[in-house]
Amino acid sequence: MDSILSLFHQAATQNANQPAVIFKEQVLTYAQLENISDRLAAYLIERGLGLGQVAAILLEQSLYIPALILAVLKSGAAYLPLDGDYPNERLSFMLSDSQASYLLYENEGLLDPLNYSGPKLSLSAMLNEPIPSKPLPPQGGSEESLAIILYTSGSTGRPKGIKIPRRALNYYVNIYQQLTELKAQSRVSSYASFSFDAHVLEIYPPLCTGATLYFVPQEIRLNFPQLSQFIEDKQISHAFMTTQAAFRFVKRFDSRSLRLLITGGEKLPPFKPDKHYRLLNLYGPTETLCSVSGFFVDKYYDNIPIGYPHPGNRFYILDQQQRPLPEGQWGELYIASPQIMLGYIKRH
C-alpha cells in the first residue's frame, strides 16, 4: 500500500500548478507545497530532528499546517498537534508526557505560560531560511515507525497519549480516499481543530489525491448560515463536521455543490435525509485513527448504526470471557484493524 508521502508526491507532480491549500486569500499550489515541505524537512533534519523523535506543533489556523506536518514526516520524525485554545496545564502536560524533542510554533505569545525548556523553532524563521544546499536525505523508518501522537480528552481521568504508526496513517488514507470517492477535481473543507484526530481525514486524503483543501475560518465554524454560504461560495464537494454540528447543519441547510457530508465523534440523532448531498456517519476510537466503520444514512432510522467495518477491519462481539456471542446478544465490541495504535505513552 502506497505511503502518504509517496501519494502526495504523485499528486504534487501531476497537479503542480493547481491550488493545494487555500486559507482566506492565501493560496499554495501543489508545487509550492511540495517545495516548502521539502525545505522545512531539510531545515529540521539539519537541526537533528529524525526517526524516533517527536516535534510538537503549536499553530493557530494557518495555511502552512499541511506543509509543516508533511515536513516532520519527511524528516522521519512524528508530530504532536497542539491546540492553542487548550488550557496551559493540559498543553504543558502533553509536552512533558510526549517527551517532545522540539516545539514548532508561530505565535510567540502562546509559549510564555508553557513549562517547556526544549528547543523552540519559529515557523516564520524557518520559512525565511535560505534553501538548504544539501538534497533532502531519504526518509528513514518503517511502517511501524511513529507518525503522530494524539491525546484523549481526559474526560475519564488523565489524558492518554496514543501512538499512531505510519502503517495506520498510510492504510487509513488509502481506504478513506476510496470510501469518499475523492478526485483531483474535489474541493474539500477543513473544519476540525488541528489537535483533533479528524485533521487526518481532512488534510491527508485530499492532498494525496490532487484535490483542493479549503480551511474554514475559525470565526464562522459555529455560524451555520455563514458556514453554508462558505460551502456554496467555494463550491465545496466534501465536508467533515463533528456530530452535533453536522446534525444542526443537515437539519437546516441544503447545498448544490456539496456531494458528501462526513461526520463522527458521537452518536448521531435520527433525522430524515432529504438533501442533495449524502451523509456518511463514521465510527472509530482514536486508538484506531479516526474511523474503522462507516454508514451512509440513506433513509430515516430510529437508531442510526455505526455501519460496516472498513476493508481490512474486523469486528467481534465478545462476552466477559472474550468468547464470541451469537447474533442479537449484547457484549463488548472488539476491533481487529491495521490501523491499531502502537500503544499508550508510558503505559503498557
**At residue 1, does pLDDT exceed 80?**
no
β-strand partners of 190 = 215
What are the tens digits of pLDDT across the range 162-210? 999 999 999 999 999 999 999 999 999 999 989 999 999 999 999 999 9
Q: How far is Cα 291 from Cα 307, in angstroms, rounded to an integer?
A: 11
**At residue 348, does pLDDT exceed 60?**
no
Q: How far is Cα 265 from Cα 197, in angstroms, rounded to an integer?
A: 10
Instruction: Please give the share of the chain, as a percent, with pLDDT higher than 90.
Output: 80
- Regarding predicted confidence, which is higher, 155 or 292? 292
What are the tens digits of pLDDT across the range 4-40? 999 999 999 999 999 999 999 999 999 999 999 999 9
pLDDT value at position 117? 87
What are the tens digits of pLDDT across the range 254-299? 999 999 999 999 999 998 888 999 999 999 999 999 999 999 999 9
273-278's contacts with Cβ under 8 Å and 24+ in sequence apart are: 273/297, 273/298, 273/299, 273/300, 275/250
Would you call 318 helix, strand, or coil by DSSP? strand
What are the tens digits of pLDDT across the range 210-263? 999 999 999 999 999 999 999 999 999 999 999 999 999 999 999 999 999 999
pLDDT value at position 141? 67
pLDDT value at position 155? 62
**At residue 81, does pLDDT exceed 70?**
yes
pLDDT value at position 135? 63
- Taking all residues of the chain, what is their mean pLDDT, rounded to a whole number? 92
**At residue 138, does pLDDT exceed 80?**
no
Model confidence at 115, pLDDT cuts 50, 70, 90, reads confident
**At residue 136, does pLDDT exceed 80?**
no
Of 122-136, 146-160, 270-284, minimum mean pLDDT range: 122-136
What are the tens digits of pLDDT across the range 54-80? 999 999 889 999 999 999 999 999 999
Amino acid identity, position 261:
L
Do residues 62 and 69 touch, judged by C-beta distance below 8 A? no
**At residue 154, does pLDDT exceed 80?**
no
DSSP 8-class letter at 217: P
The size of the chain, in residues, is: 348
Give one DSSP letter per residue of 74-142, joined into a string.
HTT-EEEEE-TTS-HHHHHHHHHHHT-SEEEES-GGGTTTS---S-EEEHHHHHTSPPPSSPPPPP---
pLDDT value at position 84? 84
- Regarding predicted confidence, which is higher, 295 or 112? 295
Spacing of C-alpha 71 from chain mean position: 15
pLDDT value at position 20? 98
Model confidence at 133, pLDDT cuts 50, 70, 90, reads low
Q: How far is Cα 23 from Cα 64, in angstroms, rounded to an integer?
A: 9
